[in-house]
Amino acid sequence: MHPPLAGPVPAAAPPLSQRRLAVELVIVLLLSLGASALWSVLQFVDLSTRAAPIGEQQVALNPARSDRAWLDLSYQLTGIALDLVPVALVCWLLWRSRRPHLGALGIDAARPVRDTLSGALLVLVIGVPGIALYVVGRQLGLTVSVVPSPLDAEWFTVPVLLLSALRAGLTEEVIVIGYAFERLRRLGWGTARWGMWPIILAAAALRGVYHLYQGVPALFGNLAMGVLFGWLYARTGRLVPLVVAHTLIDVAVFVGYPWAFATFPQLFG
């Protein structure tokens, strides 16, 4: 019999330094919504420097990727899956060996019904003012016309839109709220003097900037949404209601808005 192979005993992994935490945060954001913010700023500069006013320009919402149905579906599903990779990365980075495994992100299964109902109630607080802000922005010529794809374009259109809404809810809330809050706390942003407000405002500013491509009203509307969501998370430590609320709001935008756009074109066009 051969003796067991001997080797050095691996040392316990040292805690992450402040520098490594900061670099990790920047990398994760640049792989996800930080990159979206940069593209959004460039798109806003593009739109605002054209001859036509912003109010006369259009942005397509969930456009088709191909004129062939099977290829369009493949594009859409692949895009959704790839957009969720940073969410998987964040979950991996903050995974705990003990339950709740994603407790650092404010995710657990302790009260699913209450979290769902809280998220649904939050939709009324955010969704109705958001729609009003868009309509006012269109009337004032400060918001681009967001042109949705028709719901009857393909048999898979509505299911893909529902998946897209879930993708947006998971991506934005898990990364901008759960992950960013945890990392910024460890970087010392949640001081006793200012409390959680530096983190809340930073996350809300990022949320507003990556919606800037729709116009300045969208920037401020999403900034307000970010402040409310961040404040709620700081008070409750629960992320699931925010994911539910965001997903339902985007379901209304992705599915309800195309219906309203087609029914009342004089209001949204």
CB environment 53-68: b (16+ within 10 A), e (fewer):
ebeeeeeebbebeeee
Q: What is the mean pLDDT of each run of 10 residues along the chain (269 residues)?
A: 51 73 97 97 94 88 91 97 98 95 94 96 89 85 85 91 97 98 94 89 98 94 96 97 96 86 66
pLDDT at 134: 85
DSSP 176: I
Q: Which amino acid appears at position 156 of this protein?
A: F
Q: 98: which 2 tokens?
A: 């003990």
Lookup: tokens for 150:
């028709």
The predicted structure's pLDDT at residue 8: 54
Residue 51 corresponds to which tokens in the numbers above?
């001859």
d(CA 232, CA 241): 10
pLDDT score for 228: 97
The pLDDT of residue 58: 87
**pLDDT value of residue 11:** 47
E strands, 105-252, are 145-148
CA neighbor of 144 nearest in space, from 21, 59, 34, 225? 59
